[in-house]
Structure 1
Amino acid sequence: MTDFLLELRSEEIPARMQAGARADLEKLFRKEMQAAGVAVGAVTVWSTPRRLALIARDLPLATEAVREETKGPAVTAPEQALEGFLRKTGLTRDQLEVRDVKGKDTYFAIVEKPGRAVSVVLAEAIPAIVRAFPWPKSQRWGAASISTESLRWVRPLSGIVAILGEDLVECEVGGIRSAYTTKGHRFHHPDEITIGGANDYADKLRACHVIVDHEERQDLVRTKAREAAEAAGLTLVEDEGLVIENAGLTEWPVPLLGRFDEDFLEVPPETIQLTARVNQKYFVCEKDGQLADAFVCTANIVASDGGEGIVAGNRKVLAARLSDARFFWEQDRKTPLSQHAKKLERITFHEKLGTVADKVERVAKLAQWLASEGIVPGCDPAQARQAAELCKADLVTEMVGEFPELQGLMGGYYARAEGLPDAVADAIRDHYKPVGAGDDVPTAPVTVALALADKLDTLASFFEINEKPTGSKDPFALRRAALGVIRLISENGLKFPLLRGFDFALPEIRRDSGNFTDNSRKNLAKKGMDKGMHLVMGNTPSIVVYKRFGGSEDKYSQVAIELLDFFADRLKVQQKEAGVRHDLIDAVFALGGEDDLVRLLARVHALQAFVETEDGTNLLAGYKRAANILKKEDWSGQDDGIEHTGDEDPLENVDDPDMQAVYAAELAEQAAHKGLSYTPEKAEKALIDALDSAEPKAAAAVAAEDFASAMAALASLRQPIDAFFDEVTVNDPDPSKRTARLALLDRFRAAVHNVADFSKVEG
């Protein structure tokens, strides 16, 4: 067993590509070795700006001999089949073996491959790896580049080191032959270095001012930059992305502290930090929590003057950049945000949705409505509208044109600079939040109203024009917008029925959703006036009325349906990531008709706490037993002993299966309360009494949104249902007893379903 070293040296590799290149090099190496039958153990991959290096430990010196057997056609198969098999294996007929396979003579090809020296395998693998390397961007160079078949690499490839143990693996790629030699630091040691093998590679490079281990360079940048700031009495603003980038730009990192003109601090601190970070790759520093007039740059050499010349040069370049930022800041403030906002009329938001100014007007109406309806408590409607009208104005400023990352943030600064209320300025600044899973959720009322309005308008607008996410494609970030709405509502505890929001947010339509309260929906549902009008939430239809009785269906109803469906899916994803069991989410979604996220989540969390208790586990078992009996008996609740007019089926004129279920539950409940024609058994009577007590308690608790108490009411049914199954025969020979007991079980099932659909709960 021995170690193998491979170094691919080139001109500077962009820092952003180095992590991917390391992963690709190991992947390609393992693939080539596996194809050749070489067992590979530990592999280490390093990168610097000028090289990729791989060390594979404990490789064998030779591959083992391999005997391969390939089954061919039957002896009686057509001649063409045999000819194709011979071409595939490269053998002749007399080299094949004939074996009996299930009573049929069948050809087999036996190929014995002798072992090969691993050095030979590597000599073939290295060119294959280089030519197959998937750089995001690559180039051809030199005289050979006239041909499209010439070698491609991220930057011109200049050297290959390939050593197995102490022996050179001889190979050639694009005219570059492998060798024992590499080069050290471009300035400190530009001459060639002779490498003995994997064991002395890192040490010899270190002696020549190259730290080949990228993680070690990252630690150096992280530590030395912090020490440089602390030596000046400052605190480094940590930035892990900048640490990785600086380590990827240097082979011998030397962080140095520099100062810039204090007058530049009048520019917003985020602007200074972004200018230093994006344009110059500098860290910034703070003093007492405020941005300081200092930066930390990372040199690639140990300068003889201690770095004074390097710092002076970097200070000069940074000053030019900060001068531009200060110019933008001063110019932008000469024009009020309201005047900037007028320019939005010239910017298209989407060809089917008008300009950004059109979007701003929709958002303003929606934000004002959220405030005036009390959906966002404590929000001033006038301030909500003012913030919305100005929230996109900074998109046309010079500063945001230079640094798009500052949109929203600069609008907040400009608003504060012209004396607008702090609540308005803060709302403009933070209205894009939350952007990602780790982003803070706004809590200030005006900010919440604006952030919610902006995201709802985006969702409603793109769903209206049928630009919905498909598969992995989401060009307008609608999934992120939906998660943002969910977090804004849930983390602020907003009582916000989403359907009302959709009705108001959908462009060009402002329906009076006040007429469609929960009670009116239920009343219309009982009268059968809403047949065919359903909202699918999760996988279960629930009744939602989108049209007035006798009216025509609104064309935007389907958009609202799809939007709530979309939110249901996003909420499932979010809650699963938060550790909520998927089956419990389904159990609550299956109830249907719920568009208040706070109430829905409270029910889910109460259900999770309940099913993890002994009472919850046993009640679930009792529920499933009851459901199985009812399913086996094909129980629908019609044959309940209740007197009806004539012989008509009370469900005969109800086509919708969900409405049938509603009626059946009501009829079953009536049957269970109806006087029995026999004296119930003790356990039977106990279950009836328990239901009489638990049903109103659970219903009242659900109405009060006290779902923990609703679960506690269900818990009281656990012992009676257990005793019922132990002591009572459901399928009694007496038809009246059998019917009454099935109705009782149906009543028990319906009582549980008022809190959650336990059929969706696993266990």
Structure 2
Amino acid sequence: MPDLLIELLSEEIPARMQRRAAEDLRKLVTDALVERGCLYEGARAFATPRRLALHVVGLPARQPDVREEKKGPRVGAPEGAIQGFLKSAGLADIGQATVQSDPKKGEFYVAVIEKPGRPTPEVVAEIMPGIIRSFPWPKSMRWGARSAEAGALRWVRPLQSILCTFGPETETPEVVAFEVDGVRAGDVTRGHRFMAPSHFTVRRFEDYEAALHRAFVVLDADRRKEIILADARNLAFARGLELVEDEGLLEEVAGLVEWPTALVGSFDAAFLAIPPEVVRATIRANQKCFVLRDPATGALSNHFILVANIEASDGGGKIVTGNERVVRARLSDARHFWETDQRPLPDYADKAGKPLDQRLAKLRALDIVFHEKLGTQGQRIDRLMALARELAPLVGAQPELAARAAELAKADLVTEMVGEFPEVQGLMGRRYADLQGEHASVAAALEEHYKPQGPSDRVPTDPVSVGVALADKLDTLVGFWAIDEKPTGSKDPYALRRAALGVIRLVLENGLRLRLVDAFAAAVAKLGAVGAAPQGLGADLLSFFHDRLKVYLRDKGARHDLIDAALAAGDGAAQDDLLMIVRRVEALGSFLDSEDGANLLAGYKRAANILRIEEKKDGVGYAEPVDAHLLRDRGLPEERVLAEVLDVAERHAREHVGRDDFEGAMAALAQLRPAVDAFFDKVTVNDPDPALRANRLRLLGRLREATRAVADFSLIGG
């Protein structure tokens, strides 16, 4: 079957946009083809700095023919209805319609409309101009003499050529002819901008990919990444060094070059006195280069890997020299910032003694705004200090250390180093705190209070770090909730979902017993005049945490129905104690995986179904106590046993829950299983005697209530 090849060649596409653009091109084209009946076997999209390409395999040569029956009015209908039908069906007179008979509706007209399928190249030519004109680039531009005209093409960068061919493997493919803003589709493209700028003709994908490679273009981005990584590792190994791998940088560099050529540069070893994170940030951010380290010590080397987009005639000597010159200048700046930050600030030397304290005084004096409705950074620091001091005993930290760490946590925001390299925020605070002799836990908290910043980020374990991290995230959440800036749909500009996940991971992975509602109240109290908490803030925010907890646990493999069941437990348990919720879910899962648990759940479901039907029919609930006299005098042995076991099992389950022993609570419920099985085997619930029937339904109500001591079994599937 024929294949389709499309290439859109332009000026350089930003690296961050390339993968998404390739996927958008694949989806837009294939969706449009399928919508028109052109089904395909496979499609793959590619992106380089200068081109988007799409290869669609196994397309039909033409659309399938379409036969459609259009039902019209009854025979003998008014002339107006007849004429409307003829017009909509495209018929010249009613004689071209057929007459069909329906036993109920009588005879009516039917038009049979047959539409022959068009050749696939015509379909492609029809859809491509619209796709190109409406392509969803995050940012686009207009250019040239026609840029001011209405409807002028917008593209990420000036579009230079379009390649579009269609045909089977055994024949010469045809050019799909269409035009977009003066750019006409053809079968010609170009290779590398400098090493192979000449045009060449392309027949199909195999020719295209091979010809590009001969023209110094590696089409596949993943292949470019493999080449860069392998060459960088080999160059490092040859010098007895090790590549510091960086997936984000590797992805970006692969989007900057069409013909990756790895080279090694170096800088003065004296610059290694700068913190290694700053050296790496400088080389990475400014030159898109990879740093190397000594595999024996782990210390950074004064060598780096750069990736050129050309095989230079001098072996890359001039390219390396140019990069070394820029790296040297940037590292000189970084060393200046590093040294400057350690000197006293003349304007604040009399207000605070140590460098970080002086930076803090500067931050307060500048009145840097945290948020217009939540005050300045200085006001926020005061809140963090008070909240960290209050949370410290709950996480095992010394209150004064936690308050000191919170006081200095944002001081590095006004350092020269963070001003130039924002990505080392927190890290530089820790470095400067170590230099001025702060307690080790205080220094660590200056870096770690930002953590965890995502599901794979490390969770701090030092109690001071944990306390300040919780204070930072809770102040953020409560503050933005108080001013009604909550996440909506896919929008979360203040990363509040990430902050909530951070609190969840801090609590669970450190095994903390923290009542969230009390923590919210403490954070609200610190807002003071900055913000007034709306009514219901705590409940609303707790619901948000429950949603985040469900996501977190589902990612860990927990069943969503067990989470809901544990959260809906009817034992009056604290639903803001995350650690206990998780332990309850784990115990519930283990219990239901056992034979006793599975059978008890089945018995509960049977009881609940009976109660639901009978309560709806009777219009009453059966939650009142069982009539003990009726049970003793007229009840069957199996229902008397079930009543006795229910009293004991429920009491024991609640006692175990009260001690946070959820495994013990599940074991207590497991004692119900034989009695429940025997009850349903021997007892007729809907007895002809109304009194016996009602008493047995109340007994099933007791079973329903007893299980709620540990979870709401009605929410459990199965």
Under a length normalisation based on structure 1, what TM-score does the superposition of the two structures give?
Answer: 0.84
Judge conservation of contact 1:463–1:563 (CA < 8 Å) in 2: yes
Judge conservation of contact 2:67–2:114 (CA < 8 Å) in 1: yes
Judge conservation of contact 2:342–2:432 (CA < 8 Å) in 1: yes
Q: Deviations over 1:671-722 (max 9, x none)?
A: 55x7965275432343344335423432332122111111011111100121
Q: Deviations over 1:158-181 (max 9, x none)?
A: 222333342441433322333443
Judge conservation of contact 2:43–2:54 (CA < 8 Å) in 1: yes
Tell me the distance in 1 between the aligned counterparts of 2:154 and 2:534: 54
User: 2:358 is matched by which residue type in structure 1?
Assistant: Q
Tell me the distance in 1 between the aligned counterparts of 2:358 and 2:137: 46
Equivalence for 1:310 = 319
Equivalence for 2:597 = 616
Tell me the distance in 1 between the aligned counterparts of 2:134 and 2:262: 37
Equivalence for 1:396 = 414
Equivalence for 1:160 = 162
Q: Deviations over 1:603-659 (max 9, x none)?
A: 111011111211111111222333344445549xxx9xxxxxxxxxxxxxxxxxxxx
Q: Give the alignment of 1:242-281 within 5 angstroms.
A: 242-281=249-288
Tell me the distance in 2 between the aligned counterparts of 1:632 and 1:6: 62
Question: Which range moves more in the overlay, 208-217 or 683-692?
Answer: 683-692
* Superposition deviation, residue 384 in structure 1: 0.2
Match of 2:394 among 347, 351, 375: 375
Tell me the distance in 2 between the aligned counterparts of 1:18 and 1:194: 24
User: 1:560 is matched by which residue type in structure 2?
Assistant: G
Q: Deviations over 1:558-601 (max 9, x none)?
A: 22222222222222222223222222112221126422111121
Judge conservation of contact 1:228–1:257 (CA < 8 Å) in 2: yes
Q: Does residue 140 in structure 1 map to residue 142 in structure 2?
A: yes
Tell me the distance in 1 between the aligned counterparts of 2:677 and 2:34: 60
* Superposition deviation, residue 81 in structure 1: 6.2
Tell me the distance in 1 between the aligned counterparts of 2:309 and 2:505: 45
Q: Give the alignment of 1:734-745 within 5 angstroms.
A: 741-745=696-700
Match of 1:486 among 491, 504, 523: 504
Q: Give the alignment of 1:566-605 within 5 angstroms.
A: 566-591=544-569, 593=572, 594=574, 595-605=576-586
Aligned-partner SS, 1:46: strand
Match of 1:384 among 383, 402, 414: 402
Tell me the distance in 1 between the aligned counterparts of 2:592 and 2:82: 64
Under a length normalisation based on structure 2, what TM-score does the superposition of the two structures give?
Answer: 0.89
User: 1:444 is matched by which residue type in structure 2?
Assistant: D
Tell me the distance in 1 between the aligned counterparts of 2:33 and 2:698: 69
Equivalence for 1:668 = 625
Aligned-partner SS, 2:569: coil
Tell me the distance in 2 between the aligned counterparts of 1:62 and 1:396: 66
Question: Which range moves more in the overlay, 174-183 or 234-243?
Answer: 174-183
User: 2:314 is matched by which residue type in structure 1?
Assistant: D
User: 1:619 is matched by which residue type in structure 2?
Assistant: L
Match of 1:131 among 113, 133, 156: 133
Tell me the distance in 2 between the aligned counterparts of 1:290 and 1:78: 92
- Quickly say closer, same or farther: Cα 1:204–1:561, change in 2 above 3 A: closer
Tell me the distance in 2 between the aligned counterparts of 1:390 and 1:95: 90
Match of 1:359 among 356, 380, 384: 380
Equivalence for 1:434 = 452
Judge conservation of contact 1:344–1:355 (CA < 8 Å) in 2: no
- Quickly say closer, same or farther: Cα 1:614–1:340, change in 2 above 3 A: same
Equivalence for 1:227 = 234
- Quickly say closer, same or farther: Cα 1:135–1:105, change in 2 above 3 A: farther
* Superposition deviation, residue 736 in structure 1: 6.4
- Quickly say closer, same or farther: Cα 1:265–1:112, change in 2 above 3 A: same
Match of 2:540 among 556, 562, 565: 562
Aligned-partner SS, 1:199: helix
Judge conservation of contact 2:479–2:527 (CA < 8 Å) in 1: no
Tell me the distance in 2 between the aligned counterparts of 1:370 and 1:742: 49
Q: Give the alignment of 1:636-655 within 5 angstroms.
A: none
- Quickly say closer, same or farther: Cα 1:469–1:192, change in 2 above 3 A: closer
RMSD of Structure 2 on Structure 1 (CA): 3.0
Tell me the distance in 2 between the aligned counterparts of 1:366 and 1:78: 81
Judge conservation of contact 2:588–2:666 (CA < 8 Å) in 1: yes
Aligned-partner SS, 1:375: helix
Q: Give the alignment of 1:189-208 within 5 angstroms.
A: 189-208=196-215
Match of 1:466 among 463, 484, 487: 484
Tell me the distance in 1 between the aligned counterparts of 2:667 and 2:594: 11
Judge conservation of contact 1:96–1:108 (CA < 8 Å) in 2: no
* Superposition deviation, residue 555 in structure 1: 7.5
Judge conservation of contact 2:129–2:179 (CA < 8 Å) in 1: yes
Question: Which range moves more in the overlay, 161-170 or 737-746?
Answer: 737-746
Judge conservation of contact 2:632–2:640 (CA < 8 Å) in 1: no
* Superposition deviation, residue 556 in structure 1: 5.9
Aligned-partner SS, 2:146: helix
Q: Deviations over 1:66-121 (max 9, x none)?
A: 33444455567776666666665555445852544742555545443334333343
Equivalence for 1:27 = 27
- Quickly say closer, same or farther: Cα 1:447–1:75, change in 2 above 3 A: farther
Equivalence for 1:748 = 703
Q: Which runs of 5+ in 2 are unaligned?
A: 346-354
Equivalence for 1:691 = 646
Equivalence for 1:342 = 361
- Quickly say closer, same or farther: Cα 1:347–1:694, change in 2 above 3 A: same
Tell me the distance in 2 between the aligned counterparts of 1:588 and 1:625: 20
Match of 1:215 among 200, 219, 222: 222
- Quickly say closer, same or farther: Cα 1:621–1:368, change in 2 above 3 A: same
Tell me the distance in 1 between the aligned counterparts of 2:256 and 2:651: 70
Q: Deviations over 1:367-402 (max 9, x none)?
A: 11111xx3102x111100000111112222222222
Aligned-partner SS, 2:625: helix
Judge conservation of contact 1:218–1:244 (CA < 8 Å) in 2: yes
Tell me the distance in 2 between the aligned counterparts of 1:132 and 1:38: 21
Match of 2:114 among 112, 115, 125: 112
Q: Deviations over 1:721-760 (max 9, x none)?
A: 2112322344556676556544444433332221222222
Equivalence for 1:6 = 6
Tell me the distance in 2 between the aligned counterparts of 1:497 and 1:366: 14
Question: Which range moves more in the overlay, 619-628 or 411-420?
Answer: 619-628
* Superposition deviation, residue 64 in structure 1: 4.0
- Quickly say closer, same or farther: Cα 1:463–1:65, change in 2 above 3 A: closer
Judge conservation of contact 1:96–1:107 (CA < 8 Å) in 2: no
Equivalence for 2:49 = 49
User: 1:116 is matched by which residue type in structure 2?
Assistant: R
Question: Which range moves more in the overlay, 478-487 or 396-405?
Answer: 396-405
* Superposition deviation, residue 140 in structure 1: 2.2
Judge conservation of contact 1:159–1:176 (CA < 8 Å) in 2: yes
User: 1:155 is matched by which residue type in structure 2?
Assistant: R
User: 1:22 is matched by which residue type in structure 2?
Assistant: A
Equivalence for 2:431 = 413
Aligned-partner SS, 1:678: helix
Tell me the distance in 1 between the aligned counterparts of 2:87 and 2:134: 28
Aligned-partner SS, 1:30: helix
Question: Which range moves more in the overlay, 90-99 or 745-754?
Answer: 90-99
User: 1:181 is matched by which residue type in structure 2?
Assistant: V
Judge conservation of contact 1:503–1:509 (CA < 8 Å) in 2: no
Equivalence for 2:334 = 325
Question: Which range moves more in the overlay, 448-457 or 593-602?
Answer: 593-602
User: 2:597 is matched by which residue type in structure 1?
Assistant: G
